C-alpha cells in the first residue's frame, strides 16, 4: 500500500489524465517507455513458440468462459480507437480519439437514443420509443427470432457494429437488448403510467445500473479478485486519477487484453451440443444474419445462473494462448497474424512503460518481481523493460489473483499490477460518471433477480 506521511495516498498521479473525455490518457505518465526489438517479440509470439499452448491448456477452476466474452462486450462499451495500429508511427495519446463514450452507459445498446436514432426502437403503442428492436420484430420468424434486427444487406441494426463480429458477442448484444425490453415490461406492469419516453428513460437507467453492478461485483471480482475490488471501493483509487472519465492506454493496449490468454479454442454453447471452433463456421462468422440453429447461444452454459448448469470454464490466465490466436485465419501472415505479437508491437507504438517498472512504482516486493522476471527471461525476453501485456500475463501465472482470505490463486485472474490497472480504471469510469450508480447513488442496490451477469443475460432468454 502506498502511503504519504502515514496517510493513505489517494490518486497521487494526475498528470496523465486528458482534458477531454474523447481522448485517451496515461495512468503512469512519469515512467519512461520501454522498447523491445520487434524481432524479439515476433519470436516470442510465433506459432510453436513459447506462448503457444498447443492442443491442451488448463482451465480455471471458477471463471466461467462467458466472462471473457462479457469483457469484450464491456470493452466495446467504453473504448474504440479507430485511427491507430501497431504498425504506425509512435502514437501520442492526446491526439487519439476514443470514438465511444468512456463510461459504462451501454451506448453500444442504446446508440444516441430513440430521438436521434429511432431505427433502433419500436414504434407506437405503450412501448413505442421505449423498447429496442430485435430480429423477432421483423415478422420473418425462424432463426430471425433468435437474431438481432438486421437491414436488407444483412448488417445488424445496433449501436456498435463490433458487437456483431462473432456469434457469441452478437448473441450477448441480443441478450442485453432483451433484458432492457424485459425491464420495460416489468416497470410498466408495476406502474402503468410509465409509457413512451418516460418508460424509456427509467428502463435505460435501471438496465444500465444493473449492468454496472454486475461489472463491479461479478466481472471484476472474478478477473481481479474480491480483495482489490473491495480495497479500491473502500479506500479509494491510487493511480487512475483526474476529474473526468478517460481510458488509459496502459488499460486499453495492455492490461485489458488479458482475455486473449483465457479464450479456449473450442466452446460449447448449447446443452449436450458439440464444441465449436472459435473462428469456425458456426461461431466465427460475423456481420451476417444467423443461419445455423447451432449458433444460438444458451447463456446458462456460459455463466453461473440459477439453472445450476455445469458451466464451461475459461482457460487459465498465463503466458500461453490458444494456437489459433497465434495464426489468426482472417489475417495474412505477412500482416502479422499472431495476436500475441500484435499486442506487444502496440506496446512499442504507444510507448508503454515496462510492466516491471510499473510494479516497482507500485512498490511490489522484489521477490515478486523476480518470479515474473525469471518467467519472461525463460521465454527469451529481457528482465528489464518487460512488455506490459506480457508482464501481466506472467504475473497472473506466477503470482496470481488476490483472494478475500489473503491468499493468491495462480492462473485464475490478474495479479497485483494487472488487477490494479483494470479495477481502478473501471471503478474510476463509474465514480467519475454522474449518471452511474457509483456516481449518483452509492446506496443503490439491485433487484435480486437481476444482480449477476448470468441472471441479466438469461432472464429474458426464450
Least reliable range by pLDDT among 45-59, 209-223, 413-427 = 45-59
Judged against a pLDDT cut of 50, whether residue 393 lies above it is answered with: yes
Domain residue limits at 31: 3-458
Q: How confident is the model at residue 262 (pLDDT cuts 50, 70, 90)?
A: very high
Judged against a pLDDT cut of 50, whether residue 132 lies above it is answered with: yes
Q: Between 220 and 5, whose confidence is greater? A: 220
pLDDT tens per residue, range 152-208 = 999 999 999 999 999 999 999 999 999 999 999 999 999 999 999 999 999 999 999
Number of structural domains (the chain) is 1
The CATH number linked to 318 is 1.10.640.10
pLDDT tens per residue, range 69-128 = 999 999 999 986 655 555 555 556 555 655 677 899 999 999 999 999 999 999 988 999
Q: What is the pLDDT of residue 1?
A: 39
Nearest Cα neighbor of 229 from 416, 396, 409 is 416
Mean pLDDT value across residues 307-323: 97
What is this structure's pTM?
0.94
Mean pLDDT value across residues 306-322: 97
Q: What is the pLDDT of residue 198?
A: 96
pLDDT tens per residue, range 46-60 = 999 999 998 778 999
Nearest Cα neighbor of 53 from 393, 289, 444, 419 is 393
Q: What is the pLDDT of residue 6?
A: 37
Amino acid at each position: 500500500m502506498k502511503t504519504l506521511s502515514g496517510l493513505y495516498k489517494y490518486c497521487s498521479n494526475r498528470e496523465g489524465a486528458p482534458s477531454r473525455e474523447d481522448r485517451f490518457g496515461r495512468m503512469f505518465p512519469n515512467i519512461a517507455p520501454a522498447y523491445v526489438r520487434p524481432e524479439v517479440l515476433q519470436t516470442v509470439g510465433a506459432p510453436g513458440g513459447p506462448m503457444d499452448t498447443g492442443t491442451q491448456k488448463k482451465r480455471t477452476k471458477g471463471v466461467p468462459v462467458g466472462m471473457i466474452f462479457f469483457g469484450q462486450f464491456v470493452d466495446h462499451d467504453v473504448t474504440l480507437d479507430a485511427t491507430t495500429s501497431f504498425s504506425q508511427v509512435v502514437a501520442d495519446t492526446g491526439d487519439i480519439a476514443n470514438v465511444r463514450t468512456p463510461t459504462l452507459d451501454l451506448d453500444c445498446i442504446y446508440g444516441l437514443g430513440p430521438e436521434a436514432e429511432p431505427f433502433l426502437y419500436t414504434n407506437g403503442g405503450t412501448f413505442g420509443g421505449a423498447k429496442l428492436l430485435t430480429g423477432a420484430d421483423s415478422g420473418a420468424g425462424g432463426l430471425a427470432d433468435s437474431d438481432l434486427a438486421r437491414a436488407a444487406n444483412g448488417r445488424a441494426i445496433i449501436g456498435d457494429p463490433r458487437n456483431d463480429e462473432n456469434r457469441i458477442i452478437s448473441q450477448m448484444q441480443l441478450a442485453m437488448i432483451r433484458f432492457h425490453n424485459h425491464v420495460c415490461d416489468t416497470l410498466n406492469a408495476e406502474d402503468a403510467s410509465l409509457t413512451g419516453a418516460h418508460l424509456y428513460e427509467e428502463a435505460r437507467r435501471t438496465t444500465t445500473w444493473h449492468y454496472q453492478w454486475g461489472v463491479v461485483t461479478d466481472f471484476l471480482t472474478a478477473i481481479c479478485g474480491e480483495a482489490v475490488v473491495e480495497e479500491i471501493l473502500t479506500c479509494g483509487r491510487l493511480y487512475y486519477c483526474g476529474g473526468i472519465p478517460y481510458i488509459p492506454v496502459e488499460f486499453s493496449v495492455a492490461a485489458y487484453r488479458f482475455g486473449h490468454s483465457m479464450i479456449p479454442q473450442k466452446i460449447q454453447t448449447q446443452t449436450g451440443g458439440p464444441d465449436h471452433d472459435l473462428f469456425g463456421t458456426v461461431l466465427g462468422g460475423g456481420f451476417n444474419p444467423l443461419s445455423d440453429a447451432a449458433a444460438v447461444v444458451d447463456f446458462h452454459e456460459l455463466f453461473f445462473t440459477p439453472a445450476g448448469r455445469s458451466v464451461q470454464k475459461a482457460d487459465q490466465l498465463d503466458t500461453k494462448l490458444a494456437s489459433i490466436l497465434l495464426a489468426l485465419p482472417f489475417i495474412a501472415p505477412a500482416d502479422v497474424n499472431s495476436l500475441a505479437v500484435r499486442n506487444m508491437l502496440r506496446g512499442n507504438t504507444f510507448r508503454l512503460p515496462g510492466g516491471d517498472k510499473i510494479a516497482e512504482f507500485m512498490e511490489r516486493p522484489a521477490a515478486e518481481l523476480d518470479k515474473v522476471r525469471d518467467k519472461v527471461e525463460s521465454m527469451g525476453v529481457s528482465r528489464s523493460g518487460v512488455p506490459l501485456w506480457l508482464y501481466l500475463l506472467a504475473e497472473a501465472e506466477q503470482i496470481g489473483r488476490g483472494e478475500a482470505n489473503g491468499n493468491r490463486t495462480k492462473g485464475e485472474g490478474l495479479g497485483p499490477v494487472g488487477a490494479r490497472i483494470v479495477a481502478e480504471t473501471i471503478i474510476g469510469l463509474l465514480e467519475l460518471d454522474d449518471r452511474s450508480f457509483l456516481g449518483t447513488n452509492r446506496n443503490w442496490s439491485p433487484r435480486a433477480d437481476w444482480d449477476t451477469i448470468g441472471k441479466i443475460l438469461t432472464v429474458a432468454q426464450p
